[in-house]
Amino acid sequence: MAMTNNYLIGVDGGTESIRAGVFDTKGNPLAYASTNYNTNFPSPGWAEQDPRDWWKALAVSVRKAVQDSGIAAEQVSALAVDTTCCSVVALNDSGDPLRPALIWMDVRSANQAEQVADCADPALRVNSNGKGPVSAEWMIPKALWLKQNEPEIFESAATICEYQDYLNFHLTGRLVCSINNVSTRWHFDFSEGKTGSKKSFPGSLLEKLELADLAEKWPVEVIRLGEVIGGLTKEAAEHLGLPVGLQVVQGGADAQIGMIGLGVVEPGSLALITGSSHLQLGLSEKPFHGEGIWGTYAEALLPGLHTVEGGQTSTGSVINWLKNLFGESDYSSLNRDAQNLPPGSEGLIVQDHFQGNRTPHTDPRSRGAVHGLSLKHSRAHIFRASIEGVAFGSELIFESMRENGFHPENVVISGGATRSKLWLQIHADVSNVPITLTRNPDAPLLGCAILSAVGAGFYKDIPSAVETMVQIESIVEPNAYHHDAYKPFLESYKKTYIALRNIRNNLED
């Protein structure tokens, strides 16, 4: 490998856009570029995207990032892609989509998720130790919805896979899936030496659902993070403006790859990934399963480690919705006004379940709520209370993890919330934990660059690359007085879901 070819590309396929970044082998970013694509919402709880938009946007972002970086395309050694998960695509023999993708936030398969949970299968132990429920966001409920509601699409599909797999196939011509996605969202089990895909796939669960034919539509090969999938095909190279044969390295789910970009690669650490949604992701040396959490997932991130997960479906998307609703072009005035309000927003509580709840309730039918409104309250109150509601949801997940024996020693944050000092402080105060920020807050992109560096041979493994490529920037310390002040509002937040659950269920019925 020529030493002049020491640049890497990370690609982050997110909910609203696909972003590309050019990095050197020390983790320093040279340039970023982002290209938006559309999301359609045909019905409440549904969310679809056209996979062809992903492919078009990928080229625009990669070309712009390379151009802005000032390097030649020939100096790039490798690229890796992360994407949203589960964003499920049905493809024909040529790898073209048969219908719009059911992206991760699509929860139309709520009934199918209940059918999966009712199977009482060992594969379901990652869902609150088998007590469930199973999320409607995951692969098997969505595939079951396709089979039951669009059987002609399901039957004609040569492949049913992820956004991730779709891009990698069109980049390399090789159809594979990521160990990260299948361990965390497809109910594959890589514990106890089950390293082969045939040993690890959830055969008995699919049989019980009369869905055994789904396994025939999944990619056969499972690739670990940081392993080379293949080189860019001639068509892909022309599309991206990169050399033919450029190494494409396996990535995974955006938030999980963000763990790597935050340096969360040791047991006892936890990543708080913020954006349209929040994810709380930690690493443990030992497997465990319990109520209110997802996981642990064996081998999902690194060999020999187990990933525990919590998540909130709508967080940054709620704040963005409010910004647009208030007619603001940015968050500056909202943050400034909300900063002057006391903890608890003078009695206002917001439940952040605008697209359902991921954990600890795993309830796709739950919805957002605001209570405690008075004529005193302003839009600043609603804005701050919404941020507090998101922080309360995170704390509820931390409580569930602690109850199951996982006590994170440090919390590292990335994503949209890092751009708001108010939001960072509220998170620290509500949970009474220090929040660490890394120098590069674009953790998924940096995580992909780290994987690219490993695949290209610059580092022997992921932890070695992290040691050089991830740097700590600052730490937000909690305010003990504010933490105490938040306690009654946190209790009210917890009771909100219980109080509204039956009301919402009756309305849905």
Instruction: Give pLDDT, residue 269.
Output: 86
Report the distance separating Cα 44 and Cα 480, nearest Å.
40
- For residues 160-194, one letter each, b for 16 or more C-beta atoms within 10 angstroms of the residue's C-beta and e for the rest, the string is bbbbbbbbbbbbbbbbbbbbbbbbbbbbbbbeeee
Residue 368 three-state SS: coil
What is the rounded CA–CA span in Å between residue 495 and residue 358? 17
- 348 vs 362: CA distance, rounded Å: 24
Phi, psi of 218 (to 5 degrees): -75, 150
Q: What distance in Å separates the CA atoms of residue 297 and residue 135, rounded to the nearest whole number?
A: 15
Minimal CA–CA distance to 409: which of 278, 293, 263?
A: 263
Closest CA to 435 of 445, 443, 426: 426
Is the Cα dihedral 316, 319, 323, 325 positive or negative?
A: positive
Mean pLDDT of 122-134: 90
Note the pLDDT of residue 509: 64
Lowest mean pLDDT among 46-50, 258-262, 402-406, 463-467: 402-406
* For residues 474-501, average pLDDT: 96
Q: Does the pTM exceed 0.75?
A: yes
Provide the β-strand partners of residue 102: 48, 88
Is residue 105 within 8 A of residue 313, CB to CB? The reply is: yes
Q: What is the dihedral of CA 357, 362, 366, 367, to 10 degrees?
A: 10
Of 352, 274, 363, 270, which is closest to residue 309 (Cα–Cα)? 270
**Tell me, what's the pLDDT at 2?**
44
What is the sign of the dihedral through the CA atoms of 416, 422, 423 and 428?
positive
Of the pLDDT bands very low, low, confident and very high (cuts 50, 70, 90), residue 193 is low
Q: Are strands 76-83 and 48-49 parallel, antiparallel or unpaired?
A: unpaired
Listed range (1-5, 23-27, 112-116) with the worst mean pLDDT: 1-5
Confidence of residue 437 (pLDDT cuts 50, 70, 90): very high
For residues 447 and 10, the answer to whether their CB atoms sit within 8 Å is yes
- Least Cα distance to 416 among 37, 15, 11, 9 occurs for 15
Q: How confident is the model at residue 194 (pLDDT cuts 50, 70, 90)?
A: low
The length of the chain, given as a count of residues:
509
| Residue the block writes with tokens 């965390």 | 184
Per-residue HEC secondary structure of 472-483 comes to EEEEECCCHHHH
At CA 364, angle to CA 383 and CA 118, rounded to 5?
Answer: 155
DSSP string, 77-122: EEEEEEE-TT-EEEE-TTS-BSS-EE-TT--TTHHHHHHHHTT--G
Phi, psi for residue 104 in degrees, rounded to 5: -55, -40
pLDDT band for 111, please (50, 70, 90 cuts): very high
Q: How far apart are CA 49 and CA 239, in angstroms?
A: 21
